[in-house]
Each structure stands twice: as structure tokens, then as C-alpha cells.
Amino acid sequence: MPKKKNWTEQEDNYLRDNFCLTNEQLSSDLGVSTTLIRRRYSELGIERPTGKNALARARNLIYRENCKGLVPDDWYELPSTRADSKEAGEGFYWDGQRCTRSGHLSKRKTSSGGCWDCEYGDHKDKLETSPEFREKRLHSFRNWYNENREDYLDRQKDRKNSDQSREWYREYEKRRRQEDIDWRISKSLRDRLYKAVSRDSKSESAVSLIGCSISELKEHLSSQFDADMSWENYGEWHIDHVRPCVSFDLSDPEQQKDCFNYRNLQPMWGDENRSKGGVWEGYDPRARSRSQKLD
């Protein structure tokens, strides 16, 4: 008959403090069988959640409570386990645990279980360094968008018009204006361009900035429309900078003109534009005269 296990006070305390760990993990940590682990919990009168997902849920809820004040409040509305997130059809979950790769707190993608910050960073790096990957992603998005356009636009509209989104953007814009002079200048110039195009403005400052009249700019953009673009759905597509604003020193008036010159502008669907990020392939509007008019 096997010798009875004599549990130490330290081992019992470890079991009490880590009741949410799996039996396999506890067995490995304490060097005893899973049968002895289950038996000891029964002897201690400790009732544990049954099933791996129930244990993970209980464990992650503890981790999440320890992160109060460190993460956005809306993360607490996400499922705490990947299994629960899959069942609920959610795109993200948050388990309260730090990323094993970089040690930061982040949501996790339901599809992969990976840290969203790391996956997004890797994705962004590939977009910026791999033309093949970038083209593959854009092609995939175009196909998906064409099949789901109406549903996508409805969801985007609901999200954009929510009180939560408005409040978030107000705080974001306030912070960026205070902390980033380049962003503030870029935002001001973008707003000026948007208003000029939307109102068919004849503002001298707008004309000087883009190097042609507003009607000529609209003709230039219209010539690049795809089949679904029109001036009636301007807003669903954006005026994109071929060479991104971030690659210019916008505190320099001459570089402002280079950045916003009409030859550096093209129409692009909103999500495609956001996916592009700060990517460009050596386009230099200064290679062509800003005073040159459209053909």
C-alpha cells in the first residue's frame, strides 16, 4: 500500500491560494499526482470550479480584478476566456494576464488567442515592409467589402455615432493636440482640405495649399474613382495622401504644399486607407511642379 502523503502547511496554503490552477499544473508544481491533488482539496473542504474553462474563468476573473485602474473600463465587458468569447461570437477577450512576449496588458484575439498589441504591431510592420503582403491584404479587404458593404457601413455608422465613441474621440483629440504639434498641424490642414472639397470652396488658402482649384481637384480625384465611388458617398472613401503626412515636416510651409499638393492625393476606401497606415513607396510630389496644372 502506498505511503500516505503528509501535506505541509506550506503546500496546503499553496493549494488554497492557487485553487484556480488546473490539476495538471498543481501536480507539476508540487510533484504529486493529480489524484492526490483532488483528494487533498476534498480533505480541506475546498470546492473548486469543475472543467478547464470554469477554472480558467475563475482564475482570469482574479487576474482582471488585480488590473483595476490599469486598463480601460470597457475591457471588463469582454469575455474572460477564449472559449467563452468563441461561444459569444466576440472578436476579442481579455484574461487579465500580461503578454508573455512583452509583459504588457492587452486584449487577445479570439481567432488566434494572441496578444492584440503584438499581432497588430507585427501586422503593421509587414504592411510597411512587404509590398506582397500589403497587396494581398488590400485585395482580401476589397473582396470582403464588396460582399458585406451595406452591413459594414451600418455597423460603422452605429459605432461612430455612439456616445462612447464620441467621448473617446474628444478625449483623444484633446490629448493629441496637447502632446503632438505635428498631429495638430496635420489635423488643421486636413480639416481645411475636407471643408474646401465638401463646400466647393474658393478659399485662396485652400487653392494655394493644393496647387489647383477645387473643381480641378475634384476632376483629378474623380478620374481615379472605382466603380462604387461617387461624390455622394464621399466620407465612405477618403482623400488619401499617396505619400503619408507623417513623412513630411508639416511645420515647414513648403512641405505642407508638397504634402497637400493635388498630385499627392487619391481616393481610397476608408478601411483600405487605415490599413495602409504610413506606407509609401518613394513617391515625391516635389519631382513635379506645384504650379503645373491638370491636363
What's the CA gap between 277 and 259, in Å, rounded?
15
Average pLDDT of every residue of the chain? 80
- Can you give the length of the chain in residues? 295
In one-letter notation, the amino acid at residue 252 is D
What's the CA gap between 205 and 102, in Å, rounded?
47
The whole-model pTM stands at: 0.41
Is there a contact between 156 and 148 (Cβ–Cβ < 8 Å)?
Answer: no
**Residue 285: per-residue pLDDT:** 42
Q: Determine the straight-line distance between the first and last CA of the chain, rounded to whole angstroms.
A: 96
Q: What is the pLDDT of residues 158-215, one digit of tens each?
A: 877 777 778 877 888 888 877 876 677 667 677 777 776 666 555 566 677 888 887 8
User: Within 13 Å of residue 259, how many CA atoms lie on the same side as its CB?
Assistant: 20
**Residue 2: per-residue pLDDT:** 53
**Residue 108: per-residue pLDDT:** 92
What's the CA gap between 180 and 288, in Å, rounded?
30
Closest by Cα among 161, 158, 188 to 173: 188
**Helices 23-30 and 34-44 meet at what angle, rounded to 10?**
100
Quote the radius of gyration of the chain (alpha carbons, Å).
28
What's the CA gap between 116 and 265, in Å, rounded?
31
**Residue 280: per-residue pLDDT:** 56
What's the CA gap between 134 and 140, in Å, rounded?
10
Query: Residue 84 burial by CB count (10 A; 0-12/13-18/19+): exposed, middle or buried?
Result: middle
**Residue 119: per-residue pLDDT:** 85
Q: DSSP class of residue 293?
A: P
**Residue 209: per-residue pLDDT:** 81
pLDDT under 70: residue ranges of the chain: 1-3, 181-182, 185-186, 188, 196-206, 273-295
294: CB partners within 8 A, 6+ apart: 212, 216, 219, 220, 262
**Residue 202: per-residue pLDDT:** 55
**Residue 284: per-residue pLDDT:** 45
What's the CA gap between 239 and 190, in Å, rounded?
9
Q: DSSP class of residue 106?
A: -
Q: What is the pLDDT of residues 236-265, one digit of tens each?
A: 888 888 888 888 887 888 888 888 898 988
**Residue 74: per-residue pLDDT:** 87
Q: DSSP class of residue 231?
A: G
At residue 256, the 3 state secondary structure works out as helix
